[in-house]
Structure 1
Amino acid sequence: MVEVQAKGLFAIVRKLKVGNVNGLKFAYKLFGIFGKSVVVLAAAGFFLLLIARHFSSVSIDGSDADAMSVRAAIHMLNGVEGPTSPIYLEVMARQPTGVEVSQIEFEAPGVKILPIREFPVVGSGGDATKYSNDSKLRIDVQSIPLWRVGVITATIGACSSELVAVKFLSKWRIFSERWACI
């Protein structure tokens, strides 16, 4: 039945007259000139849309932001060796979860991580003076400017670092780092 309808439509186009040219020749001329260009332009536009979607900026997903924060903290603490005072961690203006703390302590051995709320307040006892701002680590996810790319800031004391993380094979990896100290 579909074949009959196609033949019927073909017959209508063939019988159609435009000036002195029958409908079929007119259609061939019309699509012969513009048809290939339209198809090429449509394919190129679709390809560009796919590329734009692939590299477009996305909103920050909570699980991705947490994973980037953990990776940045591990990166910052990997150079710490020997006995150190505990590191007080703040992740995106909140306390780190137990899972985040255990993952950081597992991948950065020898470092004791405590939530920022346990940081001793100055004047609260004899131990408060031995801890400085150098034992506070603050991690903030700034943005995800491209798909699978994130910008993170890490602050320890008077020094700040900007990290660029890339998600590769479902894991966040630190791609570059830039430091500045006051």
Structure 2
Amino acid sequence: MTTDNQQPDPTLDELTQQAAAAAAASVPETLEAKLADTERRLAEMSDAYLRAKAEVENTRRRGEEDTAKARKFAVEGFADAMLPVVDSLTAAIARPDASVEQVLEGVHATLRQLQSALERNKVLEINPAAGTKFDPHQHQAISMVPADQDPNTVVTVLQKGFLIADRVLRPALVTVSAPK
């Protein structure tokens, strides 16, 4: 029973409808907040992606420029080391009245300059001594000759070889002892 000053108790249907209305009112707010948050995060990630992409492109471009410069100026040190040799040869040509001994002395000095310049630039001679075991990676056998040495050893060097930083630029031309 109800008295006149009291309101009637809500029914179960009314309570369910009120709860559903309250939930429906809060769902759009939650979804809208989630959507706004997701859009904000998407904008941040898009910005970060574009920045990373630009950085990668800049790094690639700088790498290409550095490689191009390295190729362009790779021989600069070697050319600098060759200039004294050119100067010595030019000076020798400028003295037509030099004696044979003076010319020979100048040639030896120029050869030392050239050898020094090659060594500074990691161009080293391959000049095996007689009796050295034949190495097909560094030597090229021109012929086999009978000799009183172990088979497959260097008998004579016909032409020196050269290495450039441990890579064979030109193998040494050698004669090799034949098996007995």
Give TM-score scaled by structure 1 length. 0.29
Higher RCO (C-alpha 8 Å, min separation 6)? 1
The structure that has the greater radius of gyration is 2
